Amino acid sequence: MEELKEKLKRILIDEIKIQGMTPADLKDDMPLFGDDGLGLDSLDAVELVVLVQKHFDVQIADMEEGKEAFASIASLANYIHQKKS
Amino acid sequence: MTPASRPLGGRLKIRLEALGHGIFYLTLRLFGQLGAYLLLLPVIAAYAATSRKIGRKTAPYLSRRFPSAGRPGRWLAMIRNLTSFGQVLVDRAWLGIKDGDLRGEFIGYQQLEELVNRGRGVVLLTAHVGNWQTALARLDSLPTRVHALMRYDQEAAAKHYFDLRDGRRPFEIIDSEGPWGGMIEATAALQRGEVVTIMGDRLVKGSAVTVDLLGDPARIPEAAYFLAGSVGAPVVVMFAAKTGRKSYQLRVWDSWYPRWENREQRAEACRNSGARFAKNLQEYLDEYPHQWYNFYDFWQQ
C-alpha cells in the first residue's frame, strides 16, 4: 500500500503538475480537491480519472466512486487496491 | 421561494405565462402546427412593439450579425429571429403532443457513426441554434449510449420537449451541477466508447477559451476540448437547422482530435479547438442568421 501511495504522489507531481511541491510534501490524508487540500479542480479530475485508468487499469465510473476515491491520496490508494484485489 | 411567497407581480406573470402556453397548446390541438404559427405572428408583433427588454436581449447578436442594417432592418431581423424561435417552440410542442411529422435529413451521420465505431468515445458539440432539441432526439439511432452533459432543469426548452414525450429521452443526463461538474461521469462514458453531447456555446461556469465570433472576442467553455483530448476522443461539431415548415437538417460540420504532448501545449490546443468551433458556428450563422437563440449578451459571458 505504501508503494501505491508513493506512486500516486509521483503521478500527481509529474503528470498533474502540482506547482511548488514534491512527493515528500504530499501527506496521505491531504484532500485532493478544494482549497483546504491540493486545490485540484474538475479538469484535474478528468486527468486523474484518465491517469488511474492508464497506470492501474482501474475505472472510476461516477461521482459516487469519485467521492470515495478522491477524498485523499490514502483513499485513492485504498480504492485502487480494492479494485485490483 | 414558494409560490405563495412570491410577489404579486411575479405570481401574475407566472399565471399569464401558463395561460399563454395553454392557449398555444389548445391551438395546436385544434388547428395543428400552422394554426399555432399564425397565432405566433400577433404575439411576436405585440411583444416586439411593447417590450424594450427583448430588443436589449437580441441586440448583442443582431448588431454583430447585421452591422450595416439600419434601425428598420435590425427590427425586421429581430422579428425574424423571434419568429424562428417561436416556430421551433411550436414544433417541439407539436412533436410532443401530436407526434407530428417533421422530415429530417442528417448530413454526416455515416461519418459520426464511423467515429463512434472506433470505440474511443465521441464528444458531440452543439449549440443553442436551430432546433437543437430535435438533434438530440435523433441520436437514439447511434450504436452506443448517448449522454448529455447539461443542467437539465435549467435547459427549460429541452426539458419541456422531452418531458412532453412521456419522459422518453434518447440520452442520459449527466448533471453538470454535480460534483466535479459531471466530468467524472463524462470521462468514464468516453472511456467506455460512448457519446457525450455538450453545448459548446454557453459559458455557465468553469474554465473558458476566448475566441473570435462575428468580429468580437467571446468566451466559450473549454471543458469539451479538454475532455476529448484527455481521453483521445474526437470532437464532432453538429448543428441543427429548421429548413422549412416541416423539415429540418442535422449536419456534422467538422470533426477533429484535440491533441497535446504536454501541459504547455494543452492550453493552445484547447484555444485552437475553441477557435475551430467558433468558425463552424459563424459559418452556420452565415447560412442560418435567424436561428441563434442565445438571448443575452453572449460577448459578455
Q: pLDDT tens digits, residue range B176-203? A: 887 788 899 999 999 999 999 999 999 9
Q: Which of B173, B184, B204, B260 to mutate to test the interface with A (most CBs of A within 10 A)?
A: B184
Mean pLDDT of A19-23: 80
- pLDDT of amino acid A26: 87
Among candidate residues B98, B133, B149, the one where a domain is terminated: B98
**pLDDT greater than 70 at residue B4:** no
What residue spans define the domains of chain A?
Answer: 2-84
Among candidate residues B98, B129, B163, the one where a domain is terminated: B98
Joined grid coordinates for residue A14: 509529474
Joined grid coordinates for residue B86: 417561436
Enter the DSSP assignment of B167: T
User: Any chain A CB within 8 A of the CB of B63?
Assistant: no
Q: How confident is the model at residue B49 (pLDDT cuts 50, 70, 90)?
A: confident
Number of domains observed in the structure of chain B: 2
**pLDDT greater than 60 at residue B156:** no
**Are B81 and B133 in the same domain?**
no
User: Any chain A CB within 8 A of the CB of B234?
Assistant: no
The answer to whether the Cβ–Cβ distance between A49 and B263 falls below 8 Å is no
**Are B70 and B11 in the same domain?**
yes
Mean pLDDT of B134-158: 76
Range of the domain at B154: 103-300
Residue from B267, B262, B187 nearest A48 by CA: B187
- pLDDT of amino acid A75: 93
Cβ neighbors of B47 (< 8 A, separation 6 or more) are B54, B82
CA dihedral B84, B89, B93, B98 (to 10 degrees): 10
Cβ neighbors of B67 (< 8 A, separation 6 or more) are B215
The answer to whether the Cβ–Cβ distance between B223 and A43 falls below 8 Å is yes
**Are B147 and B263 in the same domain?**
yes
User: Any chain A CB within 8 A of the CB of B181?
Assistant: yes
CATH classification for the domain delimited by A2-84, as one of 3.60.70.12, 2.40.160.50, 2.60.120.340, 1.10.1200.10? 1.10.1200.10
CB atoms within 10 A of CB A54: 11
**pLDDT greater than 70 at residue B252:** yes
Q: Is B266 exposed, middle or buried (0-12, 13-18, 19+ CB in 10 A)?
A: buried
Joined grid coordinates for residue B170: 434518447
Determine the Cα angle at B113 with ends B109 and B117, to 5°.
175
User: Any chain A CB within 8 A of the CB of B22?
Assistant: no
Residues of B in contact with A59 (CB under 8 A): 188, 191
**pLDDT greater than 60 at residue B52:** yes
User: Any chain A CB within 8 A of the CB of B265?
Assistant: no
Angle between the N-to-C axes of helices B52-65 and B71-98, in degrees from 0 to 180, rounded to the nearest 10: 110
**Are B118 and B266 in the same domain?**
yes
- Cα separation, B167 vs B96, in Å, equals 10
- pLDDT of amino acid B295: 93
- pLDDT of amino acid B175: 85
